[in-house]
A and B are shown apart, each in its own frame.
Chain A
Amino acid sequence: MLTTVYAILFYVATITLVGGIALRIKQYWSIPAPLKIPTTPAPTTKRGVWFRMFKEVALFESLFKSNKWIWVFGMLFHAGLALVLLRHFRYFTDTTALIWAWVHWIQPFGLYAGFAMLAGLVGLFIRRIVVPRVRYISSPSDYLMLIMLFFIGFSGMMMKFVAHTDIVAVKLFFRGLMYFDWHPLPADIPLLVHLTLVATLMIIFPFSKLLHAPGVFFSPTRNMVDNPREKRHIVAWAADLEKK
């Protein structure tokens, strides 16, 4: 019963997450950007734009310019999250295969990353409450998102350090989902909390502000090349005006 519920839950969550993000990306892709609006100084070549985007995504460059506290907490959270997620590959991959060897290598880092992630989330949450400007712009969903991520991390840490779960069984369950060969899921409370919240996160991702992750790549003020004089930029609906 439990296994069936979670199996269905994770199929639904995966389809929503992947399908939802794919549709979003397709939508962003298909909406034209009629005018050149990079925030200058901007790179004058495509390669320069790749570099700018890399700095935004990997280093949060603009955020660094604007607010060191948010940058520190945001970095702790996102870098921690990234490592934790990489570490989680071990539940889905055949780690004896050579191409997945890095999953072994990353394990110890992933562990400390859990602490970094939680510290970052706490910092962001406190900021949201104590800085009047940030409190003013926060909706309930903004707090809930942080709380949810916190409890995902917290329940994961519980499993790691307090109430161990049978991670071999967890792996069998998830590999089983992938190959349609179901195995039972251990009925431990922290694990079920962890998995329920993770599925929730996956389902709301394409409908929430978490769209910032794909969105950043489509932001015209960051991804446009600064070459309007050299190269004429014109989109279809604007070109239609010229035919009239």
Chain B
Amino acid sequence: MSEQTTSAPTVEDYLDPLALPELQADASKELHTFEASPAHQEKLGFPGELVDDWHDVAINKMGDLLTKYRGFRVFLDSCVKCGACTDKCHYFMGTGDPKNMPVARQDLLRSVYRRYFTTAGKYVPKLVGARDLTEDVLGEWYNYFHQCSQCRRCSVYCPYGIDTAEISMAAREILDTVGKGQKYCNEIIGKVYDVGNNLGFPTPALKATLESFEEDLEEETGLEIKLPIDVKGADILLVTPSADFVAEPHIDGLLGYAKVFHATGASWTLSSVASEAGNFGMFIGSYENMRKISLRIRQAALELGVKRIVFGECGHAWRVAYSFLNTLAGPFDFLDPRYTSPMHICEYTWDLIEKGELKFDKSRNDKYRLTFHDSCNVARATRMGDKPGGQFEIPRNILKATCNHFYDMAEDTIKEGTVCCGGGGGLLTDDLMDLRVKGASPRMTALQNVQKEHGVTHMAAICAICKSQFAKVMPKYGFEMDNILSVHQLVSNAILLEGAKDPEDDDDDDDWIPPTPPPRPPRGSAA
């Protein structure tokens, strides 16, 4: 920790995580994420570069989407410009650019919709804020619809549930169709088609990596804990983001899943066909691509003959799995109907904890004072368990079952009101680093507050993108990059496995004494 408060913090130390900036017109106008190369475009069935008749193609595509997606049309018609959403977007809070206010972002597209598809916009465009589609407008779409992480925070607060994420997905689909796609997303989808996962990690390398993890686990526990891949006839297919194989703290989460499976002797396997849970088809709003990516999972499940499907920790992957997989790649009637599929690894683990089948030594996590970041896609687009809101309770229950020190951040920044990490929705690319840092500021401020209030040292998350994003931006806010943890990493630390040797104390933790939390001051009036 770069800065430990020793004296009791004063009220001034508590900044409002949702503080609003002054409007700064065009503050992030120039942020232009790299465009996809022709090769990346064509692999997904989009034109390589901007087509000559882009204007007509774009308008036709919009017309097509208007007949295919009810939400798109209803959202474009219904907004009354009440302004309730204007202060809800973390990118607006971070940049002050008024076009990052959700309704203003929608209006970039709505103005064109009105011009070409509504009576008022055709005859009195000025009156209703309608405008022609020009190349400038197209450029504006490109820039600002790539400053939306599709987190749906605005949709929670809109009286009609208008979801800017849906509008930005449609906008990106139109941009792709005229040949102006984004490099980051489209390149990644191409890798999924070529290699099977977002990181382009080939199967032999994957297998070698899993073996090395098994060796690490054996060294740590003295047990033969397996990370099986492509095992026909296994009960469970685990589909997890490929970051779980290569990045920190993701790997520690993967080891956690393996230990949970090992603890109850579950028969499970990974798949080289579906070596990626993520589905960037959603980010670009392309039903066809999202479906094609999803079908890999069906194929893997059929080929391996599994009984159930479990997903690892990943936010948008869980959205596609929970909300869309049955639609895109179902029906899953070949799976065992006694289990819910797809199931989230947190549902799986929590179920075992509730049944008393997992034992923990919580004190092994005493070096952490924890809080939990609700990943937007999990929080606002999915569920866990059978009750609404299970997606908030289950991960917290797991943390409380495995750790002694858990503290939530301010209520208006968690659960359904959670503020995005700043890197979701296809923005986790270095060319948008400035935006990512700014967009993370509400979350970082909320974290700094619990750091001061409760001495919180670490934050846990269940999204691969969130974890990567935080590892990158936390240092900018006075934290260390390893202050972000996987939920199953804490499971992994605390779980007691039969016959396992005691964990060797990390030398630097030997003389570690938990800090006494500073006395709790009143919340500032700004909160």
Closest 5 CB pairs of A and B: A66-B157, A215-B78, A221-B161, A139-B129, A41-B388
Bound Cα distance from A233 to B77, whole angstroms: 25
Bound Cα distance from A211 to B120, whole angstroms: 13
B71, B119, B382, B389 interface centre (most CB from chain A within 10 Å): B71
Contacts of B383 in A (CB 8 A): 40-42, 44, 226
Contacts of B352 in A (CB 8 A): none
With A139-B128, A232-B330 in contact, is A39–B66 under 8 Å at CB?
no
Contacts of A34 in B (CB 8 A): 68-69, 287, 327
Residue of B with least CB distance to A206: B119
A189: Cβ under 8 A from any B Cβ: no
Cross-chain contact B77 with A215 (CB below 8 angstroms)? yes
Contacts of A40 in B (CB 8 A): 379-383, 388, 391, 416
Closest Cβ of chain A to B377, distance in Å, is 10
Query: Which residues of chain A from 2 to 50 have any CB-CB distance to chain B below 8 Å in the complex?
Result: 24, 27-28, 31-37, 39-44
Interface residue count on the B side (C-beta < 8 Å): 70
A105: Cβ under 8 A from any B Cβ: no
Residue of A with least CB distance to B388: A41
Contacts of A138 in B (CB 8 A): 81
Q: Which residues of A contact B (CB under 8 A)?
A: 24, 27-28, 31-37, 39-44, 56, 60, 62-63, 65-67, 70, 74, 127-128, 131-134, 136-142, 144, 204, 207-209, 211-212, 215-216, 218-222, 226, 228-229, 232-234, 237-238, 241
Bound Cα distance from A218 to B160, whole angstroms: 9
Partner of A215, one of B103, B160, B380, B389: B160
B118: Cβ under 8 A from any A Cβ: yes
Residue of B with least CB distance to A208: B120
Contacts of A136 in B (CB 8 A): 23, 86, 98, 101, 104
Contacts of B342 in A (CB 8 A): 229
B44: Cβ under 8 A from any A Cβ: no
Cross-chain contact B391 with A41 (CB below 8 angstroms)? yes
Q: Would you list 30 pairs from A and B whose C-beta atoms are within 8 A, ordered by A residue? A: A31-B67, A33-B69, A40-B382, A62-B84, A65-B157, A66-B85, A66-B159, A67-B83, A70-B84, A74-B82, A133-B23, A134-B81, A136-B98, A137-B101, A139-B81, A140-B128, A140-B129, A141-B129, A212-B78, A219-B78, A219-B160, A219-B161, A221-B161, A222-B161, A228-B322, A228-B323, A228-B327, A229-B341, A232-B331, A233-B327
Cross-chain contact B388 with A33 (CB below 8 angstroms)? no
Contacts of B80 in A (CB 8 A): 142, 209, 212
Contacts of A66 in B (CB 8 A): 84-85, 88, 156-159
Cross-chain contact A37 with B83 (CB below 8 angstroms)? no
Bound Cα distance from A74 to B418, whole angstroms: 26
Contacts of B120 in A (CB 8 A): 141, 204, 207-208
Contacts of A226 in B (CB 8 A): 383, 388
Contacts of B88 in A (CB 8 A): 66
Closest Cβ of chain B to A28, distance in Å, is 6
Cross-chain contact A39 with B388 (CB below 8 angstroms)? no
Bound Cα distance from A215 to B386, whole angstroms: 30
Cross-chain contact B323 with A37 (CB below 8 angstroms)? yes
Bound Cα distance from A144 to B81, whole angstroms: 13
Closest Cβ of chain A to B75, distance in Å, is 7
Bound Cα distance from A75 to B81, whole angstroms: 16
Closest Cβ of chain A to B238, distance in Å, is 17
With A62-B156, A136-B104 in contact, is A37–B74 under 8 Å at CB?
no
With A40-B391, A136-B23, A215-B78 in contact, is A70–B83 under 8 Å at CB?
yes
Cross-chain contact A60 with B159 (CB below 8 angstroms)? yes
Closest Cβ of chain B to A15, distance in Å, is 15
B405: Cβ under 8 A from any A Cβ: no
Bound Cα distance from A136 to B20, whole angstroms: 15
Cross-chain contact A31 with B66 (CB below 8 angstroms)? yes
Cross-chain contact A28 with B84 (CB below 8 angstroms)? no
Query: Which residues of chain B from 39 to 73 have any CB-CB distance to chain A below 8 Å in the complex?
Result: 66-71, 73
Bound Cα distance from A209 to B288, whole angstroms: 32
B363: Cβ under 8 A from any A Cβ: no
B84, B163, B341 interface centre (most CB from chain A within 10 Å): B84
Bound Cα distance from A237 to B287, whole angstroms: 11
